[in-house]
Copies of this chain bind each other. A is one copy, B any other.
Amino acid sequence: MYDISMTIKKDMLVYKGKEEIRPRLSTVRDFSQGDAHESELQMNVHTGTHVDAPLHMLEEGENADLFFAENPFYQAQLIDFTELEEKITKADLKDYEIEENSFVILKTKNSKPGFLEETPEKFIYLAKSGAEYLVDKKIKGVGIDTNGIERAQSDHPTHKKMLKQKIMILEGLRLNEIPAGNYILLLSLLKIANSDGLPGRAYLFEPGEIETMLKLFK
């Protein structure tokens, strides 16, 4: 079992390193004033591990309520693109067999410790041609190891082409230690109504691993 979720904290990696979107956890009550310790979280919904709703980039796009009824298990394929220096194109993807209705998880140099910390605005991204290719393959969703799936493309074609087809865009994964291969993705999203994105938790399991875990139960 691999937990591929980011930890939400003040000094976490945020989109292009922007200070103003750092999450804040404030103590609203503690033992000096009462009998309990309670915190409040203030966070952009596109922080850390999260899914984008069509509304995020499409003016008439649906909000994330669309995802509430999703079954949290997905067939997933993790592809290692850590050799690429800039972006993932159709040419990079076409040698892989992409299953219809699967989740494609893109492991890039973004996962290398230190890489994004040094140049957060230069993250490796999915280029328009790569997005078009994945749309044609009728995938269920695509995951990537940074807070954005695209940069340096005018009018956000990667987001828009995928969101028009209601393909799930899962950003903010931690993939450094995960080898390429087939997995079961467990993706469970906070159920925030009327939102343009949903933070959540993502795990990868080896095929058969969940069944083995469940056998331990009566």
List the interface of chain A (C-beta within 8 A of B).
1, 3, 5-9, 25, 28, 31, 35-46, 48-49, 55-57, 59, 61, 68-69, 71-73, 75, 99, 155-156, 182, 184, 186, 188-197, 199-201, 203, 207, 210-211, 213-214, 217-218
Add 15 more A-B contacts to A7-B68, A210-B210 (CB < 8 A): A1-B71, A8-B192, A9-B192, A25-B193, A31-B59, A35-B156, A36-B196, A37-B61, A48-B191, A73-B213, A75-B217, A189-B201, A190-B201, A200-B201, A201-B201
Return the contact of A193 from the options B7, B42, B45, B193 (Cβ within 8 A): B7
Taking CB atoms, residues of chain B closer than 8 Å to A55 are: 37
Tell whether A44 pairs with B28 under 8 Å between CB atoms, given A195-B39, A214-B210.
Answer: yes
Taking CB atoms, residues of chain B closer than 8 Å to A56 are: 36-38
How far apart are A180's CB and chain B's nearest CB, in angstroms?
Answer: 16
Task: Give 3 nearest A-B pairs by CB, closest first.
Answer: A188-B188, A9-B193, A75-B217
How far apart are A47's CB and chain B's nearest CB, in angstroms?
Answer: 9
Tell whether A72 pairs with B217 under 8 Å between CB atoms, given A5-B191, A38-B44, A201-B191.
Answer: no
